[in-house]
Amino acid sequence: MQAAETARSVNRPTNDLTAYDLYLRAYSIMLSPTRDVPEALRLLDHAITRDPGYGPALAWGAICYCLCDISGWGEDLELNRPNGLDRGRRALQVAGDDPAVLANAAFALGYFGEDIGAMIALVDRALMLNPSFARGWHVSGGLHAWAGLPDLAIEHFETSLRLSPRARVGWGLAGIGIAHFLSRRFDEAVPKLLLAIQEDPSFPYPYYYLAACYAHMGRLGDSREIVARLRTITSLVIPDAGYLRDPGHRELLLSGLRLATGEET
């Protein structure tokens, strides 16, 4: 199944074999246990320069800008949003009926503020084209969490994990933990977030939610320990949570992080 998804993801032909090779190298990085997102982005941007209409490279490039933005990576964070929007919109222009391009572009565009309902509809289309597309179910989970529907998000993350239990299609455990956090089920969120950090210690996203989770549980010592670990991988300790459309969910995360960092007493 994973082999079939991989083949589909590179299905759009390009006349530039160098662009194709650059994309495959970047794609391999994104599916590796320790993802070097800035390096993958460098390769994808090079591929896009060579073939500006290469849909899979554009879509994964948009994802990389999304991950760099939420993680505080990159030399100029102000460029992440315009670059991510540009890659995502261009990817949709050439997506056709490619579920991977549709889903990845929708994820990045949803993160950067495009209409969340429209982005969910794009992923629904991708899943209609390929109902067994594990990456698509993962993206759907993320978008539904951001839209303020955490219980539905958990269902979709779990569907993704069932379809590809050993394949890396995204941060599924982190997504489930975050959805439990947004529902204030802190005791259920903690073990998922801890496993997500163990799976990928270099990715800041689950650290934010685990620190906030501990803070809301009154475990300030644990929350500050997580913040200390977070500072070793990024300087962005309190991120912009604008991707969370529900104001209550945004405040739940940010107030927890303020408690964890000592900015709110």
Q: Convert the pLDDT of each residue in 6-20 to its tens digit.
A: 554 445 457 778 999
Domain 171-265 in the same topology as domain 1-161:
yes
Q: Which of 199, 201, 185 is nearest to 234 (CA)?
A: 201
Main-chain phi, psi angles of 252, to 5 degrees: -60, -45
- The pLDDT averaged over each successive group of 10 residues in the chain (265 residues) is 49 74 91 81 95 95 94 86 97 95 98 98 98 95 98 96 76 94 98 93 94 98 98 94 97 98 76
Backbone φ/ψ region at 73: left (φ over 0), alpha (ψ -120 to 50), beta: beta
CB 146, CB 111: distance < 8 Å: yes
pLDDT tens string 89-143: 999 999 999 999 999 999 999 999 999 999 999 999 999 999 999 999 999 999 9
1-161 CATH choice from 1.25.40.10, 3.20.20.70, 3.40.50.300, 1.10.357.10: 1.25.40.10
Take residue 96 and report the two structure tokens written for it: 């056709």
Main-chain phi, psi angles of 183, to 5 degrees: -90, 5
CA torsion through residues 208, 36, 168, 56, sign? positive
User: Does the pTM of the predicted model rise above 0.75?
Assistant: yes
Q: Domain 171-265 belongs to what topology? A: 1.25.40
> What is the residue extent of each domain of the chain?
1-161, 171-265
Residues 6+ apart with CB under 8 A from 195: 173, 177
